[in-house]
Amino acid sequence: MKRKINNVIVRFAASTAILSVVVFVYFRWLHVNPTTVGFSLLLIVLLISAAWGLRYAIFTAILATVAYNYFFLPPLFRFTIADPQNWIALFAFLVTAVVASQLSERARRGMLYADQRRREVERLYSFSQQLWLSENVFELLNVIPKHIVDSFDVSGAALYLEGKQEAYFFDEAGRSLFPIDELKAISDRGEPVLDREHRTCYMPLRMGVRTVGALGLAGCDLSRESLEAIGSLVAISIERANTVEKLSRSEAARESDRLRSVLLDSVTHEFRTPLTAIKASAETLLSEPELEKPQRNDLLQVINEESDRLNRLVGEAGEVAQLDSHQLQFRFETHEIREAIDAALKSSQQVLRRHPLEVMVPETLPPVRMDLERITEVIVHLLDNAGKYSPSDTPIHITAELRDSEVVTSVADHGPGVDQMEQEMIFEKFYRGRDQRMIIQGTGMGLPIVRAIVELHGGKIGVTSQVGRGSLFYFSLPAA
């Protein structure tokens, strides 16, 4: 308040000083006729009105009238006028100065009002853009008060929702500034309360004719129209976020049902092959007890291998379900990547028995923070694919190297390769290559599991392939 008073005094003093300088210059050096002096003084009044407002202009107009009479209308240096025509001129000067000041003040206020509305519209646009960024209702409710404070230069904000019977504040001070009972009363009445003296505003949140909550603002100088627009934007954004969330849950439920159906169809089809082999081998052993030992061993080997395959299929199906529900557990420890490669080679002996192996893992590689069992599973899946899709007796190459503070592990084969269009699709659930899906058995779950495990380790996975020449699958893990 004191600063405002000082500012007013300074402007009155400045108006007096400007007028004194002009009068002194005309009286001392520029000897012109009174008409020129009058127009000059009138111009000063108009400029002061346009710059500072009506009260300063009227003060300057009265002061200019006195100076005009004293210094420029005969008899000079006296507050009397000899010629009656000069009375008319003096009166006309005063009336013109006051009227022109009022018109200038009106134009100035209109300009200020238009500028204020323009700024409010810009802020409303920016505020609406911020509201559309969030599709999570809980997150949106917590950030709305902050967005309002940041966008509209208010000192505090509070949001109350009827549906949740809860209030959200910009900071802890808002709890005392905006009592929940008062916000609830505004919401119930559906009428705004604008306390301009204390710069506090309460605005109901309306969706059409329905009130869904209330908004409280401290340090508020916004127009009622802007406050109504803010309330409508907030109500619409909350309703939109609610709708998007419901649609997302509905879509997720439908997708879950679809995946469950696809998984069941895929796994059922894949289960039949090992079950048929196990059943046939067991029936042969039961119906022909006199089989020779090599034949019996072959049948038992089939039962053993197909049982392992069946167990792996069940494990993959369970793992996909865990990944979808974000329930897969990891135990991160520091290990050498060679440990995972050795464990994977040991587990994949049956698949790789018809392929020569070339392993290149430098001893100087830094350790990696990983879940050893899961990364071993990644390499097993890649080796299994290389073994299944490569012709017999073609080599499989396993390499590991340090690249930009990441340990990159690669598995290369000499199989049919992956078409450029399919190189991203093969990492999607249940997708299998167009040319191989009827030739090679599989569920399409292996590579999606591999990608999920690698990404949950903070790494990346990819493939480089050339049709007819082979594929190189690689994954990177941050070095410890």
**Which CATH number is 271's domain given?**
1.10.287.130
Model pLDDT for residues 312-359, shown as the tens digit of each residue: 666 666 666 666 555 667 888 999 999 999 999 988 887 888 888 899
Check residue 153 and give left, alpha or beta (phi > 0: left; psi -120 to 50: alpha): left
My answer on whether 473 and 360 are in the same domain is yes
My answer on whether 175 and 260 are in the same domain is no
Looking at the 3D structure of the chain, how many domains does it have? 4
- Position 479 pLDDT exceeds 50: yes
Residue linked to tokens 């079950």? 275
Model pLDDT for residues 215-235, shown as the tens digit of each residue: 999 988 888 888 888 888 888
Given 192, 222, 247, the domain boundary residue is 247
pLDDT at res. 307: 79
Model pLDDT for residues 42-90, shown as the tens digit of each residue: 888 778 877 787 788 788 878 888 888 888 878 888 877 666 666 676 6
Show the domain range for 198: 133-247
Helix (H) or strand (E) segment spanning residue 210: strand 210-218
First-last CA distance in the chain: 62
My answer on whether 264 and 228 are in the same domain is no
My answer on whether 339 and 368 are in the same domain is yes
- Position 306 pLDDT exceeds 50: yes
Report the 3 state secondary structure along 34-66: HHHHHHHHHHHHHHHHHHHCHHHHHHHHHHHHH
My answer on whether 146 and 185 are in the same domain is yes
pLDDT at res. 438: 43
- Position 309 pLDDT exceeds 50: yes
Given 247, 271, 306, the domain boundary residue is 247
My answer on whether 303 and 393 are in the same domain is no
Stretch 419-429: mean pLDDT? 73
* CATH of residue 391: 3.30.565.10
Does residue 82 fall inside a structural domain? yes
Lowest mean pLDDT among 88-97, 146-155, 194-203, 356-365: 88-97
My answer on whether 283 and 371 are in the same domain is no
Give the residue from 464, 474, 355, 476 showing the smallest Cα distance to 418.
464
My answer on whether 73 and 35 are in the same domain is yes
Rounded distance between C-alpha atoms, residue 356 and residue 335, angstroms: 26
Give the residue from 474, 461, 320 showing the smallest Cα distance to 386.
474
- Quick one: what percent of the chain has pLDDT higher than 90? 12
- Position 441 pLDDT exceeds 60: no
pTM for the whole structure: 0.43
pLDDT at res. 437: 46
Distances (CA, A) of 472 to 192, 401, 408, 416: 67, 14, 12, 12
* CATH of residue 146: 3.30.450.40
Q: How confident is the model at residue 439 (pLDDT cuts 50, 70, 90)?
A: very low
Model pLDDT for residues 117-170, shown as the tens digit of each residue: 787 778 777 777 777 766 666 677 778 888 888 888 888 888 888 877 788 888
- Position 444 pLDDT exceeds 70: no
Does residue 123 fall inside a structural domain? no
Given 181, 215, 247, the domain boundary residue is 247
Q: Average pLDDT over the chain, rounded to whole?
A: 80
- Quick one: what percent of the chain has pLDDT higher than 70? 83
